[in-house]
Every structure is written in C-alpha cells, then in structure tokens.
Amino acid sequence: MFETHLTVAGRVVTEPTRHTFPNGDLKTSFRLMAVERRFDREAQEWVDGERVFVTVNAYRRMAEGVAASLVRGDSVLVTGRFYIREYSTENGERRSAAELDARALGPDLAWCSVVVDRPPRPMAPPSSSGTPGEEVVSQRAA
C-alpha cells in the first residue's frame, strides 16, 4: 500500500486531548488549521487564501510531549502520514475527515521561541585513545 507523507505548517485550533488505549498506549489529538497566504498586488498587502483543517494524531512518547507542551493558538510544523478517515454518523450519514499521524512535530520557530528540555544523556565510556568519537571514525574507515 502506498502512503502519502505531508508536512503542514499551521496553528493549533483546539486544545490537545489525550486518550489512553486499553494496552496503555497514549494518543494526543488536536485540530490544525493551515492558511494559504498570498500577496495581493492590487491592494499591496498579504491576504488569507484557502484554509485547510486536519486532525493531527500523536502516539506514545510524542503524545506525552504534545500534551505537555502545546495549547490552542500555538504555531507548529507537523510531518507524517496523511489519510482520509471515513465514518458514519449516528444518523447513518457517511462523512470523511482529513487526518495526519505525526512522525515529527514541533513549534514553528518563525513565530515563537522555545527552551528545549533535553533529557540527561548517559556518560559514554572513554575510548581507548581518550579522544571522544575516535572509535566511530576508525570503524567507518575500515
């Protein structure tokens, strides 16, 4: 089966919601709006064009980070697998919704600044020569 991968820059328009599956896996979802911007030469100004709405789904560890970090109104960049989910309403009406299963997601640094909270890294054992990374370089050369 072919997959469609897509990257979208947009704004979070709903508060992220968390869901825990019976097996303990996490999912955090939110609606994202992307607005086309174009320059109107007659008016000599930038104007809004078409709007696209997509539901973004983040799973497992990313779901935790999204729930802890994002709020409605944040500008983000999301890349992942795009698909159309089809479903039926309680009245039996067929509907469809655009969804994006996030592979990478983060703030759009064109519109904000962030402080990255990096987890501590374990100390690597020193190499035999005492120069960090030398073992990796010599292994690649072999």
Q: What is the reported pLDDT for 116? A: 84
User: 0.95 exceeded by the pTM?
Assistant: no
DSSP state string for 2-38: --EEEEEEEEE-S--EEEE-TTS-EEEEEEEEEEEEE
DSSP-assigned letter for residue 74: -
Q: What is the reported pLDDT for 92? A: 94
40-75: pLDDT as tens digits = 999 999 999 999 999 999 999 999 999 999 999 999
Which residue shows structure tokens 């729930």? 67
What gap in Å lies between CA 22 and CA 119, rounded to an integer? Answer: 28
Show the low-confidence residues of the chain (pLDDT under 70).
Answer: 1, 125-142
Q: What is the reported pLDDT for 115? A: 87
SS3 category, 140: helix
What gap in Å lies between CA 137 and CA 1, rounded to an integer? Answer: 38
Q: Which residues of 96-128 are buried (b: 16+ CB within 10 A; e: fewer)?
A: eeebbbbeebbeeeeeeeeeeeeeeeeeeeeee
Domains and CATH numbers, the chain: 4-141 (2.40.50.140)
Q: What is the reported pLDDT for 118? A: 81
Q: What is the reported pLDDT for 119? A: 79
